[in-house]
Structure 1
Amino acid sequence: MGGVLESFTGEIRYTSSKEGRRGEERGRESFRIDIHEDGSRVLAAHGEIDDAPSVSRDVNQRFGPDGKPTESFIRIAVGGEFRGSGWFRFGEAIAECEAMTSVEGRISQRVELGRPLVAFGNHAMINDGFLLSRYDLSQGPGTQLIEDMYLSSPDHRGATGPMLFPIKLVIQYHGREELEVEAGRFEAHKFSFPDVPGLLEEHPEYDLWCTTDGNFILLKAAVGGYMQTHYELGALNHVRHV
């Protein structure tokens, strides 16, 4: 991969949008993104959801210069107890998972693919931001379907597994707008996930805003329906190493 050219570190605040809890802190996430000389990147994140049963998640994921996932590691705890940990590898025509969970036990998955995987959802909010890079912005505002994608868990909070779960993702792009969040003022791309075909339970409406600098760093997100949650970038630091 070569040396690290630049790094981003930051924090994302999780709050509730429910009546009677509006603005109440319900979790947090710290993250680091290292961008290497060859254009590949490594994303690491630690996230915590306080709402019972609480969820704690550690993620480390590598992407190739084309933005496609190549490998990932995920460990989750639910209610303070170990739930599972897993390692994922994505090759030219294969997706693999080796995991141990408290429910399913030892898991070994190997899925033959017709083409390289386009995206992998590990349930870190900073990764949801980078999923937006799968949209072809040259087409302008509109809706696109991402077909070659897996999740580490079909649960909306990512509290099961981890293991390979196939889905599709509909991404809607609305355009650019100025956005002010706790971390500062940014020009933002606004997107939505209007549908996630293949999920066991329909996901509520989901709006997301990310940076326009090509790094797709999540600035803000809002989930409606029964979830009523809000996510906002609380801090962002950028360091160039060369």
Structure 2
Amino acid sequence: MRRHTGRILYHKGDSIAGCEDFGIDARESGRTIRSYCEMGEGGLTRDASWTLDGEYKPVEGHVRVVQNGTQTGSAWYRFTEDEVECEALTAVLGRTSQRLPSRARYLGLHPLVGDGMIALARGRAEPGREDIIESVTCSYDINGETSLVALPIDIGVTYVGMEEVTVPAGTFAAERYALRWQPQWPAADLWVHGEDAVFVRLDWEFSGLSSQLERYEFTDEPLSSPSGAGPAMVY
């Protein structure tokens, strides 16, 4: 198993608008992703986790959002070859259950580390071509604080090519992608690193944010050794 952990800072001009702590466990049968996000605007916190299968398709996931000290909502998702299930409890809609037909290729819960997972769904074939990734998201809002149910969305993803990118966590050989969440929105520039598409940087003029990897650790040592977790590589 490969384990990646780190912190992302959301930069807005000369200030820090928020942060995100994440972990990715990658194994032959799939991936588990965890993220805890904090944003100063609206006093928002987001706790999200989800799993992917060996083909990078979502299996299940959960997200909980608290805003200004009050829980906005909590939702759980399950994916099969035929449908997406969602069980949610939100301040606006109360208790809701949904079943959406079709097999989504991506679950967007709004942590930035999750954008790396859509890069896995797109792949690196035919640079310059925009692929439409059939997806489900918890919210159409930029900050992801509204709705918190299952919302269908088609995301345009273009693989641009390889670039070397320097962020506070270090210098990385990265794959660059362009993400277009809505047809009327300009695309965001995304850089990810390695076979597990670890988030490195995202610039999106529309939101005014430039988010960068601040701290990064990696280990592939057995996690059940008598002496505890193996040594980590810190960048």
User: Which ranges in structure 2 are unaligned for 5 or more consecutive residues?
Assistant: 223-235
Equivalent of residue 238 in structure 1, options 209, 218, 226? 218
Instruction: Calculate the TM-score normalised by the size of structure 1.
Output: 0.88
Which structure 1 segments of 5+ residues have no match? 17-21
Q: Distance in 2 between matches of 1:163 and 1:181?
A: 34
Q: What is the number of equivalent residue pairs in this alignment? A: 222
8 Å CA contact 2:77–2:87 kept in 1: the answer is yes
Shift of 1:128: 1.1
- Tell me the equivalent position of 1:31: 22
Asked if 1:183 corresponds to 2:163, the answer is: no
- Kindly report which structure 2 residues correspond to 1:29-178, keeping only aligned pairs within 5 A, or say none: 29-36=20-27, 38-51=28-41, 53-113=42-102, 116-146=103-133, 148-178=134-164
**Alpha-carbon distance in 2 for matches of 1:195, 1:72:** 20
Change beyond 3 A, Cα 1:158–1:195: closer
Do the aligned partners of 1:132 and 1:216 also contact (CA within 8 Å) in 2? yes
Whether 1:206 aligns to 2:206 is: no
Q: Distance in 1 between matches of 2:160 and 2:126?
A: 12
Q: Deviations 1:145-203 (Å, cap 9, x if unpaired)?
A: 22x21111111110013110011011122211111111101111111124525xxxx43
Once residues 195 and 159 of structure 1 are traced to their aligned partners in structure 2, the CA distance between those partners, rounded to angstroms, is 16
Q: Secondary structure at the match of 2:114?
A: helix
Let me know the Cα RMSD of the aligned residues. 1.4
Q: Once the two structures are aligned, what percentage of the paired residues are identical? A: 27
Q: TM-score, normalised to structure 2's length?
A: 0.90
- 1-structure distance, mates of 2:48, 2:154: 21
C-alpha displacement of 1:54? 2.2
